[in-house]
Structures are given as structure tokens and as C-alpha cells.
Amino acid sequence: MSQAPERTNLGHYALVVVLALLATGPVYIMLMTSFKNQVDMFSRVPLWIFAPTLDNYSVVLFDKKFDRYLFNSLFVAIISTLITLALAGSAAYAIARKDFWGRGLVSYGNLMIRMVPPAVIAVPVFALWSRWGFSGRFEELWGLTLFYTALNLPFAIWLLFSFVKQIPEDLEEAAIVDGATPFQVFRLVIFPLMKSGYAVAAIFTFRIAWNEFLLALFLTGRKARTLPVAIQGFLTDEGVEWGRIMAMGTLIVIPSLVITFFAARQIITGLTTGAVKG
Amino acid sequence: MKSLRAALSEGLIAYAFLAPALLILVIGLVYPLFTTVQMSFLDYQMGTPWESREWVGIRWFEKLWSDPNVWKSFWVTLRYGFWVVLIEMIVGTGLALALERAIRGASFFRTALIMPLMVSPIVVGLIWRYLFDARTGMINHYLGAWFGIDPVPWLADPHIALTSLIITDVWQWTPFIFIIVLAGLQAIPKEVIEASTIDGANWWQMTFLVKLPMIKSVLIVALLMRIVDVYKVVEVVFILTEGGPGLETELLALHVYKTAFLSQNLGYASAISMLLLAIVTVLSLFVLSFSNPMKTKSDF
């Protein structure tokens, strides 16, 4: 029986191109709009070819506060990613390899807690925020870091768990026979073999923390404001400053685009773990 | 059999490995969730000191039960969820089946498809708000120029606003289904496909009797994960419509958020959170009954 796929291949490739354009089009339009001047932006017919200008970027970048927003976003995203990875790896190892009382509870609890909507967390966190006395720029940034770490840990643990599972147990047993302590086993045997897992976990953790909006909007004062909160400030009642929004949107999306181009394989691993391998 | 002593020491070591992560999870997630339960029985307004709280028993739950706005937003969430999940599952799965062979090696396509998933939700909301804009938006312009359709008030018309949100969600999340289903299809052993080809299976038989049944669990997990995600959506709607016009696009999670931060009623917002948590918990139990990747034989 012939499946005769060859004849339809041209149609397939056309479909692939159309889909790729649909997926990237809106992002491309943002990029394009960010280089338009006021006149071109409100031209009656959308302009695809125009004289690009950096005006929008200079307004956004030379706003005195941009570097502060950028710093704040980098701070919470990088530090919470580092802490998440540091804690999730050993926790995943314990759940995957050790027998202990409460193991089932921990693994189920971890998966359940992943499903909690962030909006539900935002409400009590807001109430706790003032009771715990987070105020001032760096206290707020550390506070956000704490909650981003907590929000990211369940997914990171779950992801790294599946990577630990793939490591043959013989390797650990050999190390134990050679007299390695449990911590040496983790540090010298497991950890080096999980590097690709850490890379995947880092991408997803960074993405969540870098993009997070709900908690940041109401928890941070002016000084600890992050980029996603700042961009929303351009949606004013007097009018929407699309040029600046698109310029800042492009700047916010840059890390994600870089990751998408250079780590597509890792992203796909992260998206499919559990659904496919589970 | 391990000796008791070995088992004890293994347990202690496990706790040592777990403790730092558990500590953060308890402070940052479990304790806040506990506070939600507590606040759902309190009259506590935003901006007032914690000492001013008052115990009100189940008053918020009574209010919730008879609050048309809560049920309205629950209904909006169900409709939104039904359409986005249905469309994304069918389109995502269909495309994965159609393109499984064609995109071998087409890594540019893979990269292009991941893009909507990686863009920050806030930025997704802003881009689509720009595209949907009734007067200057590109969508209306090209609908008019190519099809002669009058400008559509995408985000302002109560009958259309939810559809606009659904379009945005489908744009963002169909790639997710596509990628998962594709990975599932590629994990089907070659022998199975070869054997059914030899047996003379045609395309339809191959798809509906061989491939789809073999990735059934992948489809179910993807479906359930998307349903759970629907109850998390806030940012995109917040930017596109803020729940309006009226309450036509007020998804449940957004309703919680607005009750807490705009109406400033943290007690009532907590009670609605409990409803949301109950729904998500039931859904999660379904997910876990189909796939618990962290389960091992020693689980109890």
C-alpha cells in the first residue's frame, strides 16, 4: 500500500510556511511598529516599508527609570532562577531515589501545588506582604524573589525528577562502594549528569520570573517596579502610546527570543516532559 | 530488606536534601494558601491593619453562592475554556498529524512555533490589543480592504469580545498542543507503523486506529493541562479587556484579582479563591490519575 506522501509535500511545505508566518507575525508587527514614527504609525494604510526611526527606543531607554526597571527585572529573574535550580536539584534527587516517610505526600503535593492559579496566591501574599514588613526597594525585590522561587520550584522539581530517573542507579552504587558520602554522590555523580536538565529548568524558571506581572503589579512600589509592570504604565487614560509600548515590548521579549533561537530543543524537552514520557 | 537503621538514615538524608526546597515552598506557597483559607472567613479590607480583621463565619460563602457576578464569570470561564481547548486540541493535533513527516529537519518551523509560547503574557496582550484596535488595528484594516467588512469593535462589543480573547489564546497555545502531540507521534515505535503499513492500513485507519489510540495518554494529559491553565489566565485578559464590556470576558481568576485589588475586599476574594481552588484541585486529581510522572513503586 502506498501512502503517497510525496505528491502532497509541496502543499505541506506551503502550510508550514503559512503557520510559521502566523506564529511569528504578531511578534514581527510589534518589532516593526517599534521603529515607526508617529505619522507612519497612524497612517491609514498599514505601512510595511517605511523609514525606520529609533525615537521610540530613545524615549524608552533614556527615561531615567528604564535602567532601574531593567535592573529590578534582572535581579528577580536571575536570583530566583539560581535559587530555584540550587534547591530543586537536590529535592528531585531525594524524591527520585530515596525511600522516606512522606514521599508520596511530597510528590503528590508538589504536582498539586503546580496547578494553583497565581491569582489565588497573589491575594494572601498581598496580605502577608505588609505583615511581614516588606518595604523599600531591595526588601521588595527579595520578597518577590522569594515568591517567584516558590512558584517555580514545583515545576523545576518535577522536571529535574525526570532527568534523575534517566541516570542509571549503578553509577551511584559504584560511588557508594568506593566510599562516597550521600552528598558526594549527589555532587560528583548526579549533578554533572543533570546539566541538560538544569538548562531546561533554567529556561522555564527565568521565563516565568522575567515575565511575571500579577504579583509585581501590586506588591512593588515605584522603586522595585519590574519591566512588565512598567510597560503597562503606557496604557494611560489619555491615550495609548503604541510606539513606546512596542519598543519596550520588544526589549522585554529579547531574552525570550534569544532563548527561542538558541535553545529550541531544550524548550521542547521542557514542554513535553511529563506529557510524553509520563 | 533494609535494616531499620539503614532505612532511618536513608530517610534523614532524604529530608536533608529536601529541606531547603520544602522550606521555601512552605513559606511562599503553602502558608499563603493557608492564609487564603483563613481570610475567607474574615472581613478584611485591603489597606487596613491586620488587627482590624473580623471573623464573619461563612458570610462570604453565602454571598458567593448568591452572587450573580461570580456565577457569570464562572460561566464565562467555562465557555472560554470549552472553545479554546476544543479548537487548540483539534487544530494542534490535526497539524501534528499532517506535518509529522513534512517538518523533519525543518528546525526554523519549530523555532517559529515556540515563539508565541515564550512571549510574555503582558506583551501578548499588548500586541493583540494593537492588532484588534477598532480604528487603527491591522485586522480591521485588512478585513475592510480585502473583504469589504465594516470595522469590527473586537474588544468593545459584548458579543465579540470573548471571541477576540479566544483567538488570542488559540494563537498562543495551539503550538503547545502541536509540539506535545508531535513528540508523542515521534515516540511511536517505527515497527508499529511499518507493520500496519504492511497490513495495508490506509491513511484514515493509520490515523484513527493506530496513531491516535497509541498517543491517547499524551492527548489526555495535554487536554487536562490546558483545562487547568484556563483557570490561571489573567494577564492577557487584563490587558485586552479588563474583563469588559460589563463582565463579558471576566474569567474567574481575573474576578478574584479584581475583587482583591480593585474592590479591595480581600476576605471575599479569598472565598472566591476557594471556589477556584476546589475546581483546580478536582481537575488536578484527574490529571494525576492519568499520569503521575513522579510516582514510583514504593509510593504509598
pLDDT of residue A134: 82
What is chain B's pLDDT, residue by residue, as a tens digit (300 residues)?
Answer: 567 788 788 888 889 999 999 999 999 999 999 999 999 999 888 878 888 888 888 889 999 999 999 999 999 999 999 999 999 999 999 999 888 877 666 678 888 888 999 999 999 999 999 999 888 888 988 888 899 888 889 998 999 999 999 999 999 999 999 999 988 998 888 888 888 888 888 888 888 888 999 898 889 888 988 998 899 999 999 999 988 898 999 999 999 999 998 888 999 999 999 999 999 989 888 877 776 656 554 443
Which residues of chain B neighbour A133 with C-beta distances below 8 Å?
none
Dist. CA B55–CA B71, nearest whole Å = 25
For residue A255, what pLDDT is reported? 92
Q: Are the C-beta atoms of residues B21 and B29 closer than 8 Å to each other?
A: no
Task: Look up the pTM and report it.
Answer: 0.90
B50 to chain A: which residues are within 8 Å by CB?
127, 130-131
Radius of gyration, CA atoms only, chain A: 23
Q: Which three cell numbers stand for residue B154?
A: 473586537
The neighbouring-strand residues paired with B42 are: B55
Residues of chain B with C-beta less than 8 angstroms from the C-beta of A41: 136
ipTM: 0.89
Q: A260 to chain B nearest CA, in Å?
A: 6
pLDDT of residue A5: 46
**Cis omega (within 30 of 0) on the bond before B245?**
yes
Write down the pLDDT at residue B105: 62
Q: What is the location of CATH 1.10.3720.10 in chain A? A: 56-272
pLDDT at A133: 81
- Tell me if B59 is assigned to some domain: yes
Say which of B20, B30, B283 has its CB closest to residue A87.
Answer: B20
Q: Do A106 and B22 touch (CB under 8 A)?
A: yes
* C-alpha–C-alpha distance, residues A38 and B273, integer Å: 43
Q: Tell me if B113 and A42 make a contact (CB, 8 A cut-off).
A: no
How many domains does chain B fold into?
1
Is residue B29 a part of any domain in this protein? no
Distance of residue A104 Cα from the nearest chain B Cα, in angstroms? 5
Tell me the pLDDT tens digit for each residue of A124-141. Answer: 998 888 888 888 888 889
* Residue matched to cell numbers 480573547: B165
- Cα gap B162→A257, rounded to integer Å: 29
Q: Of the candidates A128, A252, A256, which has its C-beta nearest B35's C-beta?
A: A128
Residue A184's identity, in one-letter code, is Q
Cell of B285: 486529581
Query: In chain B, which residues have their Cβ closer than 8 Å to the Cβ of A161?
Result: 293-294
Q: Which residues contact residue A97 at a Cβ distance below 8 angstroms, ignoring those fewer than 6 apart?
A: A164, A169, A172
The CA distance from A207 to A189, in Å, is 29
Flag whether B2 is in a domain. no
pLDDT at A248: 92
Are A103 and B14 an interchain contact pair (Cβ–Cβ within 8 Å)? yes
Cell numbers placing A51: 523609514
| 3-state SS record for chain B | CCCHHHHHHHHHHHHHHHHHHHHHHHHHHHHHHHHHHHHCCEECECCCCHHHCEECCCHHHHHHHCCHHHHHHHHHHHHHHHHHHHHHHHHHHHHHHHHCCCCCCCHHHHHHHHHHHHCCHHHHHHHHHHHHCCCCCHHHHHHHHHHCCCCCCCCCCCCCHHHHHHHHHHHHHHHHHHHHHHHHHHCCCHHHHHHHHHCCCCHHHHHHHHHHHHCHHHHHHHHHHHHHHHCCCCHHHHHHCCCCCCCCCCCHHHHHHHHHHCCCEHHHHHHHHHHHHHHHHHHHHHHHHHCCCCCCCCCC
Nearest partner of B250 among B44, B79, B40, B127, judged by Cα: B79
- Residue numbers in A near B180 (CB within 8 A): 271-272, 275-276
Q: Is B111 on the interface with A (CB under 8 A)?
A: yes
Q: Which three cell numbers stand for residue B149?
A: 467588512
Residue A208's closest chain B neighbor by CA? B120
> Cβ of B27 under 8 Å from any chain A Cβ?
yes
pLDDT for B294 equals: 63
| B99, B131, B232: residue with CB nearest A15 | B99
A3: confidence class by pLDDT, cuts 50, 70, 90: very low
CB B132 within 8 A of CB B155: yes
Instruction: Residue B53: give its domain's CATH number.
Output: 1.10.3720.10
Which one, of B179, B174, B188, B175, lies nearest residue B216 by Cα?
Answer: B188
The CB density around residue A228, as the number of other CB atoms within 10 Å, is 24
> Chain A contact for B117, CB < 8 A?
yes
**For A205-221, what is the mean pLDDT?**
90
Q: Which CATH architecture has domain A56-272?
A: Orthogonal Bundle (1.10)
Q: Is residue B98 part of a domain?
A: yes
Domain enclosing residue B228, as ranges: 42-290
Q: Looking at residues A236-261, what average pLDDT do you find?
A: 88
Contact of B189 with chain A, judged by CB distance below 8 Å, is answered with no
Q: Which residue has the cell 538544569?
A: A198
Three-class secondary structure of residue A235 per DSSP? strand
What residue in A sits closest to B232 (Cα-Cα)?
A: A117
Q: Which of A100, A157, A211 sits opposite B10 (nearest CB)?
A: A100
Residue B153 lies in a domain: yes
More confident residue, B61 or A108: B61
In the numeric block, the cell 493535533 is attached to: B93
Minimum distance, in Å, between the CA of residue A31 and any CA atom of chain B: 10
| Count of beta carbons in the 10 Å neighbourhood of residue A71 | 15
Is residue B22 in a domain? no
